[in-house]
Structure 1
Amino acid sequence: MTQPPQPPNEPPQGGFGAPQDPPPGGFGAPTPPPSDQFGKQPPATPPTPPAGGYGSPPTPPAGGYGSPPPPPPGGYGTPQPTAPGQPPQDPAYGYPQGPPAGQPGYGYPQGPPPGQPGMAPQQGYGYPTAPMQPQYVAPQPGGGKKFSTQMQIIVAAVVAVVLIIGGGVFYASSGGDEGKQDEASSAGADGGGEGKGGKGDGLAGGTEKAPADTKAKVGFQLPHPKVTDTTLVAGSWVTDKVYVKTGVYEIVGYDLAKGTKLWSIPLTGQVCAASRHMSKDFKTAVVFEEGKATAEDKYPSCTQVGALDLATGKLMWSKSVTSTRSGDEPVRFGEITLSGSTVAVGGTSGGAAFNLADGAELWKPKADTNNCFDMGYGGGEALAVVRRCGSYDDPQLIIQALNPADGAPLSSYTMPAGVKYAGVVSTKPLVVAANVGDTADDGSAVSDFFSIDAATGKLIVRISADSDKYAAECDSTEVEQCSAVAVGNNKLYVPTEEHEGGGEYGDTNEIVAFDLTTGKLVGGRADAGDKYTLTPLRMDGSNIIAYKTPPYDKGGQIVSINGSTFEQTVLMVNPDDEAVRDAEGSFSVDYSEFIYEKGRLFISEQMVSEPSKSSSLDDKQYLVVSFSTV
């Protein structure tokens, strides 16, 4: 299928709040809105959309990340769990055969050809075999034979059932070994959702509630800071009163609604790592450089650990430590996390843990004869470490559940030989991701997930998640930097890779779930809908909060997905004004920070750089954009 040409990456002129130099008083002062904030213009012919949706990352080389996978031999079947210590089985979990020429798009049910009403339709992408459904004839591209009278009656009956149901598309799915059926609605997955909030029990398991009107308005936008080199600005948090974002040599708190600067925490150097977790009273921790960059020292060491009170805008304490591996030199840290009142930091030079309240040193990993060190920690409800031992060329990774108070191992699991890096997806339950045998060659660093009993260190199940089929990602070298994945309800929720939808053009995907005890795909899925793609952001109780990346002519959406039925409830639909779309589309879901809390969405950069010389003055770049339904 021929794809239309891609529109230019640069946003059009007259856009969404042009970036301005920060006003006196430091970076982060809100940009005053112009009289016409969005630069509205008379309707024009919309640009032709690119494959994969507007604002997606540049197209990778053939066979790279996001490329449509070839169909596996033998079609798809029920996945089998892998026994501990055994390599994963080759057939993909729930993965369908590619459609033959002349059939409907990838992942759509296949109808019987005219004159053969007895054939059962096939299920869609990543979906277990379902019981027999009412049969219908799928439209044939380019025309085809007319329906027989018998088939017209069948189609009419199916349409009538759908209309009686109320417009939702219902499907039944295999519920596992028991054969129970989970009935779920994909209503809202067709890219709609404008207007009133979704009905039903989709939000029963969480705290987020659908507003009376899901149409969002622009909250505020913060200008792209002026820098002369690539600068890390990772780190963003939301409290009950403030949105907090890492800036240049500072961390700034902004009013949730207006974006006005409420406070600033100056730092001696740039932030190197930030915890994604907060305490209940809004305290968190960061790692930052020992000084500012100079001509003599362009890259100061990341040796300073600091605790932040986000409610008051104060740096509670900061310090560095030494270790037996680094002699008298301060340890360089690359990662930081928080579990309860314990701040844990790690890196190739060693690790350490501190009390969040006063910075008292709690423990440091001890040196041993096997050259072991703590690569990094996963925090949240519990604390886990990825510990690396042995030589650089022949490492051995050990996953340990730790007592946060003293760092004592509660259990240990040894990863398969040849695994050089691992990412902690969740600490309770303990789930780890890794690229086993370097089979994930798309840059995702994920080929398998390991569900581990944190109490005993025994492997519960190893789940094969072929990187050609599933789109979860982890940083290759950092322990707690996995994204596009969520864990809850004893399930692992992952998005499928984008694939061809059922429309004339545009890709789509789904969110599916694996059982963390059996390793099998569970019945049900959440469909993004034509030209949309779904990315899980976090759990909300038993529900999944997900972002829907839109096509070129629409705004993005936030949906809540029931973790059992996969029913979707729309929480937010962003404006589709051209200038607003361009601002939202300038952030990639793969490389930006997305936070949704209580009717507000904040999208921010993790890294900024000096504008290229080819950029025009009309190019709009933002550090943060926000949307609100409250």
Structure 2
Amino acid sequence: MGIVIAAVVAGLLVIGGGSYFVLSGDDEKDDKQKNVSKSDDPKPSASESVDQGDGTGTGEGEEDLNAGRKPGDAKALFVAKNDVDLPSGGADVFGPWVAGDTVVKAMYRSVVGYSVTDGSKKWTVPLTTEVCAATTHPSTDGKVVIAVKDGPTEKAKCLDLQLIDLTTGKVGWKKTIPKGTGFLSFSDFTLNISGNTLAAGGTGASFGFSMTDGRQLFQGPKSGCKPFAFAGGPRLLAALSCPTKDYNKPKHQLQEVDPATGRAKWTFDAPKDWEIDKVYSVDPIVISLIQREPKMWAVFAMKPDGTVRSQIDGGKDKYRISCGGAFVIFGQNLEGCTGVAADANTFYMPTDSARAGGPNEVVAFNLDTGKPKWRTPSGGDTGLVPLGMEGGSVVVYREPSYDSGGAIATIAPAGGAPKVVLQHPEGAADVENSFYSARYLYSGERFFIAAGRVSARNDTEEMRTATMMAFGK
């Protein structure tokens, strides 16, 4: 479903007396989100291991993931393949999340925890209906909340919440989001965690629930400007839609809200006819705005008080940011974009290549001025994708080619050539290249790739589809 492509300087946007360049171009977001199920009393259960190489290139299992592994290269630790008969249209994958020695994904009617070292299944939580939503990030104590459909039919709503401990697979509290009324009741909710609060946002309503026991902490306003999505983490940010006489002229706001009460700490009014689209970072605050007609895209850095810090000046480059996820009906996910990173003073984005999968650059922008600080070319035949920060450096994923494995590298705060920390073996390149709408996670010196969605032409291919893969020393 494409990627976010931002393009050229197109005009001036005036906010609070200051002038800001606007990025304009095609807007082809990869926004997919879907299903979640519930269980009457799901319990974790242990299971078997999955395909893995032995690290020496001897061809153990179906394929030798570590063939051609050179001295110093990382190992392909495991590949988890689908073992569930999915609906004809396939199913979305949620996660991966890591807690201690367990990596977890949710798909269709189960949540599964795997060993980070060999991919053996540590526990499984069976569900009776489909997973339809999940928190983007776990809580600080290693818990996530999934949403499952409230029934097995096509008319079922994505309303039933369930807490799951990532380490043990133990199921905690369950809660049903109150049903709305009217047309907006068709909206799906998206979920995010901030502190001890689970925030559920939808076009029709919004709620806050306690992560401790699931009790409702707050409900968003029922009239006026209403939150339709949240971004979590060190802050809880809400994107709001305000009443307008013309649907084609939206009015949006961004707020930081108190996780315990839902009360706004500050409010930022988006420029006229612009929409709050994504939150690339909550600390520091970096957000994406779009204008639908004419198509334009802008990236703002915000101060802690909600005033504009700067607008990113992207020049004439095109940028590649993937915001894939499960399909959301009349709703929106603010988080989950791949290809962006930020620290206290700098924001990082990758340029788009002239050809698909080709070389690109990572550009560092000064958050106080919005201007570029430095550029690092990817080198070689493939591109770099920023994943996050570690020890002051930018962690990037060097994408694989058809005959060579990918790699995890870091770029120093002052820029310069990427320094490889995990070089993936060439024997795993085919599988590494196979993930549809891939999601990436680097944690504990291990790199995990998970498919964003699993589907196939027939049952045989479906059971061969890789859903997750891991690399490490």
Which residue in the other structure is 1:275 paired with? 135
> Percent identical across equivalent pairs?
28
- Measure how far apart 1:411 and its partner are: 0.5
Name the SS of the counterpart of 1:582 in structure 2: helix
- Measure how far apart 1:567 and its partner are: 4.7
Q: 1:234 aligns with which of 88, 91, 94?
A: 94
Measured on the aligned residues, the alpha-carbon RMSD in Å equals 3.3
2:173 and 2:204 mapped to 1: Cα distance?
22
- Measure how far apart 1:482 and its partner are: 2.4
Which residue in the other structure is 1:534 paired with? 384
**Are the structure 2 counterparts of residues 624 and 473 from structure 1 closer, same or farther at C-alpha, using a change threshold of 3 Å?**
closer
Taking the TM superposition and a 5 Å limit, the aligned residue runs for 1:128-277 are 214-224=72-82, 225-228=84-87, 229-277=89-137
CA contact (8 A) 1:81 1:519 kept: no
Of the structure 1 ranges 535-544 and 237-246, higher mean CA displacement relative to structure 2 is found in: 535-544
1:298 aligns with 2:154: yes
2:156 and 2:316 mapped to 1: Cα distance?
36
Q: 1:507 aligns with which of 337, 358, 361?
A: 358
CA contact (8 A) 1:593 1:603 kept: yes
- Measure how far apart 1:597 and its partner are: 1.4
The number of aligned residues is: 417
1:559 and 1:419 mapped to 2: Cα distance?
36
CA contact (8 A) 2:270 2:276 kept: no
1:561 and 1:374 mapped to 2: Cα distance?
37
CA contact (8 A) 1:263 1:313 kept: yes
1:243 and 1:612 mapped to 2: Cα distance?
28
Which residue in the other structure is 1:382 paired with? 235
CA contact (8 A) 1:506 1:530 kept: no
Name the SS of the counterpart of 2:320 in structure 1: coil
1:508 and 1:408 mapped to 2: Cα distance?
46
2:316 and 2:322 mapped to 1: Cα distance?
9
**Are the structure 2 counterparts of residues 221 and 366 from structure 1 closer, same or farther at C-alpha, using a change threshold of 3 Å?**
same
- Measure how far apart 1:238 and its partner are: 1.0
1:359-402, Cα deviation, whole Å (9 max, x unpaired): 1111110222x3x3211101111110001111444321100011
Which residue in the other structure is 1:4 paired with? none
1:74-128, Cα deviation, whole Å (9 max, x unpaired): xxxxx99976466643799xxxxxxxxxxxxxxxxxxxxxxxxxxxxxxxxxxxx
Structure 2 residue runs of 5 or longer lacking an equivalent are 25-69, 325-330
Which residue in the other structure is 1:356 paired with? 211
* Amino acid paired to 1:583: V
CA contact (8 A) 1:447 1:464 kept: no
* Amino acid paired to 1:403: D
CA contact (8 A) 2:319 2:349 kept: yes
**Are the structure 2 counterparts of residues 216 and 552 from structure 1 closer, same or farther at C-alpha, using a change threshold of 3 Å?**
same
- Measure how far apart 1:493 and its partner are: 0.3
**Are the structure 2 counterparts of residues 388 and 85 from structure 1 closer, same or farther at C-alpha, using a change threshold of 3 Å?**
farther
- Measure how far apart 1:508 and its partner are: 0.8
CA contact (8 A) 1:283 1:307 kept: yes
CA contact (8 A) 1:592 1:605 kept: yes
- Measure how far apart 1:620 and its partner are: 4.6
Pick the structure with greater CA Rg.
Answer: 1
Which residue in the other structure is 2:53 paired with? none
**Are the structure 2 counterparts of residues 494 and 404 from structure 1 closer, same or farther at C-alpha, using a change threshold of 3 Å?**
same
CA contact (8 A) 1:271 1:287 kept: yes
CA contact (8 A) 1:322 1:330 kept: no
1:288-339, Cα deviation, whole Å (9 max, x unpaired): 21123xxxx225210012221112211211111326x538x98854311111
Which residue in the other structure is 1:624 paired with? 468
1:569 and 1:87 mapped to 2: Cα distance?
38
2:4 and 2:231 mapped to 1: Cα distance?
26
CA contact (8 A) 1:432 1:451 kept: yes
* Amino acid paired to 1:379: G
Which residue in the other structure is 1:552 paired with? 402
- Measure how far apart 1:519 and its partner are: 1.0
**Are the structure 2 counterparts of residues 619 and 406 from structure 1 closer, same or farther at C-alpha, using a change threshold of 3 Å?**
closer
Q: What TM-score does the superposition give when structure 1 sets the normalisation length? A: 0.61
**Are the structure 2 counterparts of residues 529 and 606 from structure 1 closer, same or farther at C-alpha, using a change threshold of 3 Å?**
same
Which residue in the other structure is 1:428 paired with? 283
CA contact (8 A) 1:214 1:571 kept: no
Which residue in the other structure is 1:313 paired with? 169
CA contact (8 A) 2:15 2:271 kept: no
Which residue in the other structure is 1:113 paired with? none
Q: 2:253 aligns with which of 384, 395, 398?
A: 398
1:447 and 1:420 mapped to 2: Cα distance?
10
Name the SS of the counterpart of 1:507 in structure 2: coil
**Are the structure 2 counterparts of residues 619 and 310 from structure 1 closer, same or farther at C-alpha, using a change threshold of 3 Å?**
closer
Q: 2:415 aligns with which of 565, 579, 592?
A: 565
2:135 and 2:365 mapped to 1: Cα distance?
27
Which residue in the other structure is 2:272 paired with? 417
* Amino acid paired to 1:226: D
CA contact (8 A) 1:344 1:352 kept: yes
1:599-625, Cα deviation, whole Å (9 max, x unpaired): 22211112122x225x98699521112
CA contact (8 A) 2:442 2:448 kept: yes
Which residue in the other structure is 2:46 paired with? none
2:462 and 2:211 mapped to 1: Cα distance?
45
2:207 and 2:282 mapped to 1: Cα distance?
18
2:416 and 2:202 mapped to 1: Cα distance?
39
**Are the structure 2 counterparts of residues 506 and 383 from structure 1 closer, same or farther at C-alpha, using a change threshold of 3 Å?**
closer
Name the SS of the counterpart of 2:430 in structure 1: helix
**Are the structure 2 counterparts of residues 566 and 331 from structure 1 closer, same or farther at C-alpha, using a change threshold of 3 Å?**
farther
